Amino acid sequence: DNPLWQYVLTLWRHDGFAYQCLEAQNQGLAVTPLLVALFCAARDRQAPQTEPEGIHQWRTDVTADLRALRMNLPRGNDTTAPLRDTVKQAELKAEQVELAWWWQRLVDDGSVTQSGLSRTALARHNLGSLLPGLDPATAASLVELWGEIKEANGEPS
């Protein structure tokens, strides 16, 4: 448990945001760097320019395999439902490990600096840096939803 994880839980409570993240994931993009980009922007910070190799490898070797297994298990099947739920929980835990490692990287990384950009502009910049494959329409939707969530929570823009 760390501030990044708590921030992610706050964002994820908003259905529209979760939906947008899952849509990005369905496009083959990693959600954890997306969440890190927005977390950094909310704190007036520029996100690291690249994802650490160890985190990328974990997602490839563990998180993605769990997701693939879950997606291959039939939905709405009483026989496989308990297994599907267990795999889904394991996938969530694997993502939590990714975010814990990201948090440690952010704590240790002196290159993550203050930025003179607005938080909205910084969010766009961070998303572009960490997720160069993110299509502009999805990025714009995410930033807009993120701004609405921040406003609803009384956070500055």
**Separation of alpha carbons 139 and 77, rounded Å:** 35
Closest by CA to 4, choosing from 50, 51, 49, 37, is: 37
DSSP single-letter state for residue 116: S
Does an H or E element contain 151, and which? helix 136-152
Residue 132 structure tokens: 């160069």
Provide the CB-side half-sphere exposure for 84 (13 A, CA). Answer: 12
Q: What is the pTM of this model?
A: 0.88
Q: What is the pLDDT of residue 157?
A: 63
Print pLDDT tens along the chain (157 aa): 899 999 999 998 887 898 888 888 888 889 999 999 999 999 888 888 888 999 999 999 999 999 999 999 999 999 999 999 999 999 999 999 999 999 999 888 755 566 677 888 999 999 988 888 888 888 888 999 998 888 887 776 6
> Is 121 in contact with 41 (CB distance < 8 Å)?
no
